[in-house]
Structures are given as C-alpha cells and as structure tokens.
Structure 1
Amino acid sequence: MTGIPGDLSSLEQVREAFLFLSERLPASLQKPRVAIVCGSGLGGLATTIRNMPRAEFDYSSIPHFPCLTVAGHAGKLVFGLLDEQLPIVLMVGRAHYYEGHSINQVTFPIRVFKHLGVDTLVLTNAAGGLNPEYAVGDIVLLNDHIFLAGLAGTHPLRGPNTEEFGPRFPPLSDAYDLELRRQVHRAWREVMDAKSERKLHEGVYAFVGGPTYETRAECRMLHQLGADVVGMSTVPEIVVARHCGIRVLALSLVTNNAVLSPVPRGDDSRIQEKPAKELDAILREGKANHEEVLEAGRLAAIDMQRLVVQTVSNTFNHD
C-alpha cells in the first residue's frame, strides 16, 4: 500500500495495527503461525479452535483495517489454539476490491499477519466452476492463477517497494506450496467418507474485479485461457503473502457452474414460437446469485472445515 501526501506510510499503518493487536493478545496467542482467511459462507471455521484462550477483534476496532459490506462476511479476527498447542488467527470475512476498497486495502491484513509472525496462509473462497468436470459442492485446491487485473496494472505491489515487506520483483511460479498441497490430498483421504459424491480437484483460479458475475462470453474466454474456477478475491492476497515470504495454500468451494454455451440468438428458429416466460427461463440457465453462493457454502462448509483443520494439524504435527 502506497500512501498519499499527508498519510501514514504503509509500513507505519501495518505497525500501528500490529501494535494494537499485540498489546491486547494473551501471551499464548502472541505469535500465530497460521492465518486462515474464511470466504463466503465459510466463517464456521472459527468454531474449530478452542474457546480458551481466545481473542476476537472487530475489523472496525483495528487501526487501518478495511470494513466489510458483504453478507456472509462477519468482519472479525479470531485468535486461538488449534489442537491445544498451535496458535492461529482466523480472518472471518475479507474485504473485496468491488466494495470500493483499493487493491492495497484489500491486502493490508496479510502484511499485518507477517508482522504477527505468521508463516503459513490458508485462503478459502467461494468460486464459480468453469471446468465442466466440476460439480457444485466440489472443492478445488488451487495450484496456479490468472490475474488479468494485475497484468493490466491493478496490482497490490504497484508503487515504491518497501524492502521490509519483500523484494521488488517477487516470482510467482512457485506461489502455491507443493508440500501443503500434498498434505491436502492426504487429509482428504482421512476426513472424507468414501461414499461421498464430493470431489477434490486441483485447478487454476481466475481473479475478476466484480461485483457482477461473469457473462457467458467472459466465462468461455477465461476457460480457454486455462482457468478452472473464477472469483472476486484471493489472488491479491496471495501476491502479497508471497511478497512477504509467507507460504500459501488456497481452496475454492464450487458454488455454481458457469454457463459456457453462447447466449441464444434472437433469430434462432427454435425459439420463435415460444412464449416470453420460456425465453426468460432459457436466459436464467446457470444464472448465479449471492444467496445461492451462500447456500452452497453452508451445505459444504463442514467438509471444507474438516479438510482445512486436518491439513493444518497434519502439517504442523510433522513440523
């Protein structure tokens, strides 16, 4: 985040937020090793950590933290212990670029996590499925991304570089930690019922600015570029995390399937005699809405939570 004349610098803002939190955290929670970002409908992850010791902070109380406006995002940091010994912090709800925040405000919490001592970031999100093999409720382990906005200059690292955060030109070819992804596949076999129809995939996430869901032509374009899922978050956070030297694990919950077929033409002979209400039904095919996203998230949340908890437990128990 680059400041403007008269504003605190990004580094000073991060330090203020860090000091606010560290002065209020009990000793056992002072240095969380893992941060988990809970996406749409996935805030239930906060129930997986112990009640004591525990500390919660509304974003509105933390200096310089962005405030949220989206249903399904509570807007609080929750500190606690996983497996009675591993200190973690959960970000229950995230800020989005489409809410009017700058790309730097969206990623501000990640730099605070780095100052707190976090070395592993787990991100979850709700996403639209572009890959025809994906079903609603499937989970996609991300192994790469397409950041068209970043390629065009809407990038969280644009501007003067602060060496305390990371290098001027960080590589992203290794953004998605291979050992963490291996642990996810192992955890999946441990927590999932063999009879479950839910599947785990690996795939590529395309970031879009939102808040509109994508058109059919945009979905076809993204799929042809190599994207398997599409969403409005996560990638900017990953860029900043890697810039800070934090290793990354990211999981998408498929909450709707994108329609890749073209919109019917108005002169198509097959629709000429159909009543208007049937035409509307044709156009509504695959139409996404935020309520459906949240509902799909609720139905799959328990499996996602179990997978994340098992993966983190396995990883740090063998650390």
Structure 2
Amino acid sequence: MEDTLSAPNAYVRAAETAQYVRSQLPEALQNPKVAIVCGSGLGGLADTIEAEPKVELAYGSIPNFPRSTVQGHAGKFVFGQIGPQKTPVALLVGRAHFYEGHTMDLVTFATRVCKLLGVETMIVTNAAGGLNQNYHVGDIVCLNDHLFMAGFVGVHPLRGPNIDEFGVRFPPLSDAYDLDLRRRTHQAWVKLGLDKQQRRLHEGVYAFVAGPTYETRAECRMLSMLGADVVGMSTVPEIVVARHAGMRILAFSLVTNVAVLEAGSRGDDPEIQSMSHGELTEHLSKGKANHEEVLLAGREAANDMQALVKQILVSLYE
C-alpha cells in the first residue's frame, strides 16, 4: 500500500477495503453499528461479543490494511453481535500507530473503513500514562477532550485535499466526545456496581504524543500544566477522522502507570553523593514506565472494561 494517499485514492481504497470485508461476512454482520478499537492489553474486549455468528479477519489478509507490529496488539478485525438486541459490532483488535512509521493517512485508514461499513458509533480504548496525580494504576478515564500537539504543527490526519465523501473541510471538535455516551458510561458504572470497588472511573483530557519514547519529567509537567490528565500515543487521530465522518465517539483510557512530574535529582544533591551506581539507577528509575506494565494493567482491568462497554451498548440499543 502506498505510504501517502491522495484524497481520491484514500476514499477509493477505503471503499475497496470495505467491499472486501463485507464480502467475507454473513448478512447478519455486514452492517455493524458500532466499532470498538482495542488498545494495548485490551484485546479481551473481543470476548464481549456472542460466540456465533463471529468472523475474524487478520489484518494481513485485508487489502490495503496497515499492519500493527506492537506487542499486545493481535492485529485482527473481529465481527459479531453483542447484547440481547444482537447489535452487530466490529472490533479492531490492535491498531496502526504513527510511531511505527505509518503516515496519519494509514493510522486512520481503518476508521474510514468502519464508516463505509455503516458504523455509527466508535468506542476507542487505549493504555495511557496518568498525569493527574489523583489517578491510580488501573483506573479508567472516560475522555471528554484532548490536546493534539502534533496536529498544531501540521501532523494532522485531515491535512491535504478534503475528502468530501467523508465530511466537511473544517469540522468542529468542541463536541467530539459525545455527552450522551459519557452519561451512559457513568450510569453503567453504577448499575454494574463498579463504583463499590477500588478501581475508579474519571473523566479527563487526553494528550496525544507521537512516541515511541515515554515522556520526560519536564514534558509530563508541561502537559499537566496545559490541562492534560492522561497521555498516550494513539486515539486522537482516529477520533478526529471519526468526527470528520460524522460518527459518535466514546473513548476510554486505562491508566497503566502514573507519570513522574517532579524534577529528577541534580548531580550535586547532597542525598545522592554517597550512593553506589546501582542505588543511583534505582533512585532515578522510580516511576519509570514500561510496556510490560501496560499489558499487565490491561489484563487486570479487562473484565471491568468488558462489562462496562457491553452495558453501555445494551443501554444504547435496548
């Protein structure tokens, strides 16, 4: 697949891919109402759908589809039904990231395919670092806004000729995070009794960074001062393209580590002068994020996230 798509080609290729995907599905699954993007460690969301009918398509078998290369991202399109109303849904188990070398066109390609398959609502999930010091590892954040730093400087999925078949040239984003869906989220949290446990549900602002490095202490402080509650390397480009195409958005971050905001020790700090090299390494490593922690936190929160998403969809289509 070409690395950069012109506006006509972007639509043509998305339509070609949607047509192929639909041809692989039984009639009951050909027009999914909801798409769920499963972030790092959250592939278990695919277990929310009924066992039959169910179709799995590996990304590598789908024409024009970018491939995810990240641990914890299975890389498959899963179709099935959910809830008593048998609502048809599509799950993207794994996503393409900008840091993998994909252009923004390819990072958001699957989102446009979902639109052409008939998706009305996208539920986007991710693993993120907690900037808000009231957040704890394992907490879930329902996003209500974002900071798109890359978009400010032109690394934007809608840059270039507008694709009129999807949406308008200048789409607003002040209403990107659907208020009704957020209300249903809080109602579902209480209905399921999840408010009685240690894990908490928050609402907050997500900051997109390109990655793949985790943020420095100074960068975390900057993002926090700008109003971000969580930070991660995905989601926002997908949301921008989904809103451009008129889809409703619900987004969740799973807090997998708490960002270190305080400045590191100076080389002339008295407290470190007698430390060994090993002690210095341990001292500086406090709070350091790693991908294994991300996957572990995802596994531990999977059941709650699955139950929450399923209850929201049941309330939406009952």
Aligned partner of 1:280 in structure 2 is 281
Q: Is the 8 A contact 2:207 2:230 kept in 1?
A: yes
Change over 3 Å in CA distance of 1:260–1:115 after alignment to 2 = same
Correspondence for 2:116: 115
Runs of at least 5 residues in structure 1 that lack an aligned partner in the other structure: none
Deviation sequence 1:232-273 (CA, Å, 0-9, x none): 000000000000000100000000000000011001112112
Is 1:53 matched up with 2:56? no
Given that 2:34 and 2:120 are in contact with CA atoms closer than 8 Å, whether structure 1 keeps it comes out as yes
Given that 1:3 and 1:10 are in contact with CA atoms closer than 8 Å, whether structure 2 keeps it comes out as yes
Q: Counterpart in 1 of 2:180?
A: 179
| 8 Å Cα contact 1:2/1:160 also seen in 2 | no
Q: Does 1:22 align with 2:22?
A: yes
Say whether 1:312 aligns with 2:307. Answer: no
2:145 aligned with 1:144: yes
Residue in 2 aligned with 1:198? 199
Matches of residues 118-133 of structure 1 in structure 2 within 5 Å?
118-133=119-134
Match of 1:221 in 2: 222
Deviations 1:194-246 (A, max 9, x none): 54111000000000000000000000000000000000000000000000000
How far apart are residue 59 of structure 1 and its match? 0.7
Structure-2 change in CA distance of 1:264 and 1:40 (3 Å): same
Query: Which residue pairs with 2:79 in the alignment?
Result: 79
Q: CA deviation at 1:2?
A: 5.7
Please tell me the residue identity of whatever aligns with 1:153. Answer: G
1:3 is matched with 5
Cα distance per residue 1:78-101 (max 9 Å; x no partner): 110101520000000111111111
What is the CA distance between 1:192 and its match in structure 2? 3.2
Please say if 1:233 is aligned against 2:204: no
What is the Cα deviation at residue 8 of structure 1? 7.3
Alignment correspondent of 2:298:
297
Instruction: Check conservation: 2:5, 2:105, Cα contact below 8 A.
Output: no
| C-alpha distance in structure 2 between counterparts of 1:241 and 1:194, whole Å | 30
Moved more, 81-90 or 207-216: 81-90
Aligned 8 A contact 1:192 1:303 in 2: no
Q: 1:83 to 1:225 in 2, by over 3 A?
A: same
**Structure 2 CA distance, aligned partners of 1:30 and 1:45?**
20
Contact 1:2 1:159 in 2 (8 A): no
Residue 316 of structure 2 aligns to a residue whose secondary structure is: helix
Q: How many residues are matched?
A: 315
- Tell me the equivalent position of 1:65: 65
Superposed CA deviations along residues 22-50 of structure 1, whole A, max 9, x for unmatched, are: 11211111110000000001101111111
Task: Please tell me the residue identity of whatever aligns with 2:36.
Answer: I
SS in 2 for 1:9: helix
Question: Which letter does structure 1 place at the counterpart of 2:270?
Answer: S
* Distance in 1 (alpha carbons) for counterparts of 2:195 and 2:117: 39
Identity score, percent: 62
Partner of 2:33: 33
Alpha-carbon shift at residue 301 of structure 1 (Å): 0.9
Corresponding residue SS for 1:251: strand
Q: Retained in 2: the 8 A contact 1:40–1:293?
A: yes
Question: Is the 2:122–2:249 contact (alpha carbons within 8 Å) kept by the matching residues of 1?
Answer: yes
1:2 and 1:9 in contact (8 A); partners too: no
Distance 2:116 2:254 in 1: 29
**1:269 and 2:270 aligned:** yes
| SS of aligned partner of 1:252 | strand
Paired residue type of 2:302: A
Q: Equivalent residue for 2:42?
A: 42
- Alignment RMSD (CA, Å): 1.3
CA distance in 2, matches of 1:247, 1:77: 20
Aligned to 2:261: 260
Q: Which amino acid in the other structure matches residue 3 of structure 1?
A: L
